[in-house]
């Protein structure tokens, strides 16, 4: 009983609090941030309570008792595929909300800002724990609507940069195109199975080989847009640049991973490995291209926020490469990379937020020598930069090792070596970014503002997480490995 209630609470708390904040917004102008953080903490607690249940071999599930049409039964379920994503999303939401305290000065519409952040987070959580296609797609669109609204109303407009309305529409249209592909695939699945429950769909849907290939293609393309792998990434740099920093953190650290969750949940959970085998090499190739392309674009960029944004395109390439291997090492490595990328990307964006806040500059040629002026931020940035470079004892090293090992297991040695050597470009842009911003001399005289503690504390927490996850990867790998029993007909 308790686990079921907790599963509902994971979603209900942020949604109810968001509604309260929106309705009583005049009352909660100052307290909105704290209330939102409280909601995120409670939601996190509810998720943590569910972990012993999963460890005991039970999968908490709730049927909501709503049947809007025949064959549609709205329900929630937590399993080993959802758990890493759910925890990542809630933690990232919490940190983004806390970061928002320092970033966002209270105004009349502040409660709405936090309410939408919570709805955005709930959209991701709901997508993750939905156990039927209707609920999945509903939450999938909810997160899009919330994030578009956040960009549209609170987006930054860098001088000479794109307008937030244009960016919001571009983001909405592109990701919605991807969503439509997913929707078509879901409708075909529903039509074939006669039911929308994931449990029913996982048991096997009889489809012709051609239709199976079409479905997998639709899913990969649709979720690929959300992952923002090359060449489906075009919405990402602008959206990440214009979005307010807490939203950027959520977009980069959590929302991109929704695409990966979709790939794991649908094509990889519902079809046998034989059906996916023809997609293995294309996925790996696109992964390598995305990895190298994103890194090159990060090298070419001069806007600090866009550098980190392109880095996401590159990192999603690693993940796609890992999933494309279709073996245990690659898939576990890819899923681990989702978690570690979330930590490191949130950390780097948090650092960039502090830089922009304190210097009011965002171009590399205007920055430099900040290491002496912002020592704590510089230390955190060093952790983030070294982590994303794949330096051992920091988190990303472990996932990259597993992804590359998975690549070599496929026998596609040339692709794997290309991916390995492509990672040198990641080292190059990360070091370039770090050295240009924190080392050398300050290129422009700037009257530095003080970095709010609310921005620094989440940054430090993320840096500590990056180190701890790198030193002690065992428990997280243990959880993630359990997803293999669900994927590709149980490859674990």
Partner 1 sequence: MVSVWFTGLFVVPVVGGLASTAVRSSGRGSQSRSLAVVTACLAAVCAAVLAFSAEREVHLGTWWPGTGAMSLHTGGVGGYAALATSIVAVAAVADQRIVRRYTILVVMVALAAANVAFYAGHFLLRYVALEVVALSVAAAPLIEAGGAEGTRNARLAYVLLRVGDVGLLSAILLLMDASGTLDIATALSAAPGLDPAWLAWVAAGMTLAAWVKIGVWPLALWKRARRSLSPLTGMWLYDVVVPNLGLYLLYRTSSLIASSTPLRWLIFASAGVSGVLGIARMVLRRQIEPEFGSLLGAVALCCAALDQGTFVAALLLAGTAARVVFALSAHREIEDLGAVRGPAFYPRGSAVGRWLGALVGKPRDAVESEAPGGGSAGLWRPIETAAELLDRVVEHDVLEQGIAWLWRSIESVAALIHRAVERDLLDQGIAWLGRWTQSAAEAMHRAMERDLLDQGIAWLGRRTQSAAAAMHHAIEREGFERFIREVAQTVNAAGRVLQRWHTGRLRANLRWALAALLIAVVAFSLWGW
Q: Give contact residues for partner 1 (rule: CB under 8 A).
A: 170, 231, 234, 237, 293, 296-297, 299-301, 329, 386, 389, 391-393, 398, 401-402, 404-405, 407-409, 413, 416-417, 420-421, 423-425, 427-428, 431-432, 435, 439-441, 473-474, 477-478, 481
CB 441 → partner 1: shortest distance, Å?
A: 8
CB 317 → partner 1: shortest distance, Å?
A: 15
Which residue, 144 or 402, is less far from partner 1 as judged by CB? 402
Which residue, 124 or 385, is less far from partner 1 as judged by CB? 385
CB 431 → partner 1: shortest distance, Å?
A: 5
Which residue, 197 or 314, is less far from partner 1 as judged by CB? 314
CB 258 → partner 1: shortest distance, Å?
A: 22
Which residue, 104 or 412, is less far from partner 1 as judged by CB? 412
**Quick one: which of 396, 390, 394 has its CA closest to 422?**
390
CB 101 → partner 1: shortest distance, Å?
A: 34
Which residue, 63 or 177, is less far from partner 1 as judged by CB? 177
Which residue, 2 or 421, is less far from partner 1 as judged by CB? 421
CB 321 → partner 1: shortest distance, Å?
A: 14
CB 57 → partner 1: shortest distance, Å?
A: 19
CB 286 → partner 1: shortest distance, Å?
A: 15
Which residue, 69 or 414, is less far from partner 1 as judged by CB? 414
Which residue, 197 or 426, is less far from partner 1 as judged by CB? 426
């Amino acid at each position: 009983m308790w686990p079921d209630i907790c599963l509902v609470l994971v979603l209900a708390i942020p949604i109810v609090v968001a509604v309260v904040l929106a309705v009583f917004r005049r009352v909660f102008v100052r307290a909105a941030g704290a209330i939102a953080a409280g909601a995120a903490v409670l939601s996190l607690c509810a998720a943590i309570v569910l972990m012993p249940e999963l460890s005991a071999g039970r999968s908490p599930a709730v049927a909501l008792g709503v049947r809007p049409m025949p064959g549609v039964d709205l329900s929630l379920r937590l399993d080993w595929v959802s758990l890493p994503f759910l925890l990542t999303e809630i933690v990232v939401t919490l940190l983004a909300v806390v970061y928002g305290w320092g970033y966002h000065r209270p105004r009349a519409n502040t409660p709405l800002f936090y309410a939408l952040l919570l709805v955005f987070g709930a959209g991701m959580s709901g997508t993750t724990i939905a156990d039927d296609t209707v609920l999945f797609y509903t939450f999938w669109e909810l997160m899009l609507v919330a994030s578009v609204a956040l960009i549209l109303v609170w987006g930054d407009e860098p001088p000479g940069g794109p307008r937030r309305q244009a960016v919001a529409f571009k983001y909405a249209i592109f990701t919605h195109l991807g969503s439509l592909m997913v929707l078509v695939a879901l409708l075909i699945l529903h039509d074939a199975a006669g039911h929308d429950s994931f449990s029913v769909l996982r048991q096997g849907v009889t489809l012709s080989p051609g239709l199976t290939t079409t479905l997998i293609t639709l899913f990969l393309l649709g979720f690929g847009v959300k992952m923002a792998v090359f060449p489906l990434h075009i919405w990402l740099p602008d959206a990440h640049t214009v979005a307010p920093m807490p939203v950027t953190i959520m977009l980069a650290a959590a929302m991109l991973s929704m695409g990966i969750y979709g790939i794991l949940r649908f094509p990889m959970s519902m079809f046998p490995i034989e059906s996916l085998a023809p997609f293995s090499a294309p996925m790996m190739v696109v992964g390598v291209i995305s990895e190298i392309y994103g890194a090159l674009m990060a090298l070419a960029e001069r806007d600090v926020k866009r550098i980190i944004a392109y880095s996401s395109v590159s990192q999603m390439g690693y993940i796609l490469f890992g999933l494309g291997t279709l073996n245990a090492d690659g898939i576990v490595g890819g899923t681990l990379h989702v978690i570690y990328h979330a930590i490191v990307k949130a950390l780097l964006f948090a650092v960039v937020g502090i830089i922009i806040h304190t210097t009011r500059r965002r171009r590399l040629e205007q920055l430099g020598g900040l290491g002496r002026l912002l020592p704590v931020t510089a230390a955190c940035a060093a952790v983030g930069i070294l982590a994303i470079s794949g330096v051992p004892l920091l988190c990303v090293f472990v996932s990259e090792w597993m992804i590359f090992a998975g690549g070599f297991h496929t026998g596609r040695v040339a692709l794997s070596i290309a991916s390995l050597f492509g990672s040198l470009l990641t080292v190059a842009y990360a070091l370039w970014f770090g050295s240009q911003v924190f080392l050398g001399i300050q290129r422009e005289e700037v009257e530095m503002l003080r970095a709010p503690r609310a921005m620094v504390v989440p940054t430090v927490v993320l840096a500590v997480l990056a180190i701890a996850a790198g030193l002690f990867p065992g428990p997280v790998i243990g959880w993630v490995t359990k997803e293999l029993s669900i994927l590709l007909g149980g490859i674990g």
